[in-house]
């Protein structure tokens, strides 16, 4: 998510209380804590990548890339991208540890090679390359097992893909997940946000404004097969980032609800952590797993369940799992 969010309507309050009553239980909060604070006033982070147990985020304010070791979480600045002041949305790592950054306005996915991350002579002009072009609205990023990159088009309503060597992004599917007709939902334009790929090669995208998860079949020639609604629920309102675990469960960060939610392959929904403005989650966007924890990037917008929050710092939240 979200560049157009700066015009976000404060009226998009989540339906959290009703969902909790329906479940007849309170979601856990004590297992979530702030792991690291990134930058300072004016900083925003949207994407988060993981490789080798280390986490990587990019600050919109100055385009600095930070590495965080959960065991010693003081952020270390390891790179600078040539796009300061521009929203940097999805962040991903491939199997080799190369990092990728989605820049929606230009439709670019930028790449930094693993051996240049943290280099003392790092150069924003020499060490940052254009991996993919033509992905307008580039948002969530996810690799499949073949090294093919999937790119959520956010408010362009498109799912893109590009091969392991990069190049011009191709449209895989578009306009398959309708926008919420309720104009008070300020995130409604983001119909193809986070992206994840399961063990069978099925691709999942989330609609932030409706709480719907779509599932897309990928044929051997990377042509679309069946496209269907996998699950849709008020508890998934604000769905932003999504990842898949080893059992093909989906883990979803719901930004306007300050929530981390798990969805099984049978459609069972469990709220793992939810909090109000005073809790550690501040409009959580993307997420990654490492060890026995889920890590969420707080975009830190004061809307939805985060309305009224006064903390002006971007941060990463750790949610410990049983």
> How much is the pLDDT for 41?
85
Confidence of residue 8 (pLDDT cuts 50, 70, 90): very low
Q: Is 232 exposed, middle or buried (CB count within 10 Å of its CB: 0-12, 13-18, 19+)?
A: middle
> How much is the pLDDT for 191?
98
For 273-299, write each residue's pLDDT tens digit: 999 888 999 999 999 999 999 999 999
Confidence of residue 18 (pLDDT cuts 50, 70, 90): very low
* Residue 146 structure tokens: 């073949």
Strand pairing of 203-207 and 91-93?
unpaired
> How much is the pLDDT for 30?
57
Strand pairing of 49-51 and 54-58?
antiparallel
End-to-end CA, the chain: 29
Query: What's the mean pLDDT when you consider all of the chain?
Result: 91
Domain ranges of the chain: 15-320
3-state secondary structure 284-305: EEEEEEECCEEEEEECCCCCHH
- How far out from the chain centre does Cα 125 lie? 26
The yes-or-no verdict on residue 79 having pLDDT over 70 is yes
For 168-218, write each residue's pLDDT tens digit: 999 999 999 999 999 999 999 999 999 999 999 999 999 999 999 999 999
> How much is the pLDDT for 57?
98
- How far out from the chain centre does Cα 165 lie? 23
The yes-or-no verdict on residue 314 having pLDDT over 70 is yes
Q: How far is the C-alpha of 240 from the C-alpha of 193, rounded, in Å?
A: 6
The yes-or-no verdict on residue 28 having pLDDT over 80 is no
For 110-154, write each residue's pLDDT tens digit: 999 999 999 999 999 999 999 999 999 999 999 999 999 999 999
Architecture (CATH level 2) of domain 15-320? 6 Propeller (2.120)
Contact 70, 56 (CB under 8 A): no
The yes-or-no verdict on residue 24 having pLDDT over 50 is no
The yes-or-no verdict on residue 75 having pLDDT over 50 is yes
> How much is the pLDDT for 4?
44
- How far out from the chain centre does Cα 239 lie? 9
> How much is the pLDDT for 322?
84
Q: How far is the C-alpha of 158 from the C-alpha of 145, rounded, in Å?
A: 21
Q: How far is the C-alpha of 282 from the C-alpha of 307, rounded, in Å?
A: 9
pTM tops 0.85? yes
> How much is the pLDDT for 277?
85
Helix (H) or strand (E) holding 21: helix 16-23
- Cα distances from 194 to residues 41, 72, 117, 119, in angstroms, run 26, 28, 25, 30
Neighbours of 14 (CB within 10 A): 25
Contact 5, 302 (CB under 8 A): no
> How much is the pLDDT for 42?
86
Query: H helices of 9-125, where?
Result: 16-23
Helix (H) or strand (E) holding 19: helix 16-23
* Residue 204 structure tokens: 């999942």
> How much is the pLDDT for 25?
43
Strand pairing of 128-133 and 167-168?
parallel
Q: How far is the C-alpha of 78 from the C-alpha of 273, rounded, in Å?
A: 30
Q: Report the candidate in 285, 289, 286 with the shortest Cα–Cα distance to residue 300.
A: 285
């Amino acid at each position: 998510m979200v560049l157009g969010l700066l015009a976000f309507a404060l009226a998009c309050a989540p339906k959290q209380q009703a969902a909790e009553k329906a479940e007849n239980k309170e979601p856990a909060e004590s297992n979530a804590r702030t792991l690291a604070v990134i930058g300072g006033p004016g900083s925003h982070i949207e994407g988060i990548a993981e490789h080798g147990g280390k986490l990587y985020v990019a600050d919109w304010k100055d385009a600095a890339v930070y590495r965080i070791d959960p065991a010693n979480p003081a952020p270390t600045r390891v790179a600078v991208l040539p796009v300061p002041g521009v929203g940097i949305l999805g962040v991903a790592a491939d199997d080799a540890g190369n990092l990728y950054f989605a820049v929606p306005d230009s439709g670019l996915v930028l790449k930094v090679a693993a051996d240049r991350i943290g280099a003392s002579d790092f150069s924003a002009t020499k060490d940052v390359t254009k991996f993919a072009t033509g992905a307008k609205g580039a948002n969530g990023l996810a690799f499949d097992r073949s090294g093919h990159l999937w790119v959520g088009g956010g408010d362009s309503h498109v799912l893109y893909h590009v091969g392991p060597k990069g190049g011009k992004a191709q449209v895989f599917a578009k306009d398959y997940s309708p926008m919420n007709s309720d104009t008070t939902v300020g995130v409604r334009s983001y119909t193809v946000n986070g992206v994840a790929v399961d063990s069978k090669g099925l691709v999942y995208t989330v609609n932030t404004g409706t709480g719907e998860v779509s599932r897309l079949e990928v044929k051997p020639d990377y042509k679309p097969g069946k496209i269907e609604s996998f699950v849709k629920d008020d508890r998934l309102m604000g769905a932003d980032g999504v990842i898949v675990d080893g059992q093909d469960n989906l883990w979803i960060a719901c930004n306007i609800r300050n929530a981390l939610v798990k969805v099984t392959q049978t459609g069972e929904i469990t709220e793992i952590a939810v909090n109000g403005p005073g809790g550690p989650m501040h409009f959580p966007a993307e997420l990654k797993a490492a060890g026995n924890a889920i890590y969420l990037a707080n975009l830190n917008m004061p809307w939805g369940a985060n309305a009224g929050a006064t903390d002006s710092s971007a941060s990463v939240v750790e949610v410990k799992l049983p």
